[in-house]
Amino acid sequence: MDDIDRRLVSLLADNSRISLHELSKKVFLSPPAVSSRIEKLEKSGVIKGYSLRLDLEKLGYSFVAYIELTMEPEQKEKFVDFISENPSVLECYHIAGAYSMLMKVCFDSSSKLYDFVGKLQKFGKTQTQIIFTNIIEARNPRP
């Protein structure tokens, strides 16, 4: 993991469909060299996959929110099962402090968000923060 790898990660994070040829010009290496570096980054798990930047609103998800849930530790297993099955949960993190989870969720109506929060209440105490606008969207750390 050297500076060239970091630059490759940064370039791919920006546009993961860039060709090896373009990449090779930018990092002053040959395409096969770039290819083998990317392969190593994938195998080592630095690159976990190739994804999209989506416009959730244009996809019909007008209600995007972060929800913090504070619960008793013994609830965890049932909670993880619950959210794993629930595609409205886009991200979920176990955070420090009181036993808490932070989730990013998306819904196409406020009533569905309301219903979801209601179901979460069974696991613990929630605090919901609805997103108004994206100031900075999912960018990646600098090389």
- Give 35 or 62: the residue with its C-beta nearer to DNA: 35
Q: Supply the minimum distance, in Å, between the C-beta of residue 34 and DNA.
A: 7
49 binds a second copy per the rule CB under 8 A: yes
Q: Supply the minimum distance, in Å, between the C-beta of residue 139 and DNA.
A: 23
User: Residue 134's binding partner, choosing from a second copy, DNA, none, with beta-carbon cut-off 5 to 8 A by kind?
Assistant: a second copy
Residues 6+ apart with CB under 8 A from 91: 103, 104
Residues 6+ apart with CB under 8 A from 89: 83, 103, 104, 105
30 binds DNA per the rule CB under 7 A: yes
Tokens 């979801």 belong to 116
User: Residue 33's binding partner, choosing from DNA, a second copy, none, with beta-carbon cut-off 5 to 8 A by kind?
Assistant: DNA
CB 66 within 8 A of CB 131: yes
User: Residue 13's binding partner, choosing from a second copy, DNA, none, with beta-carbon cut-off 5 to 8 A by kind?
Assistant: a second copy
The burial of 8, by beta-carbon neighbours within 10 Å (0-12 exposed, 13-18 middle, 19 or more buried), is given as buried
Chain residues binding DNA by CB under 7 A are 4, 19-22, 24, 28-33, 35-37
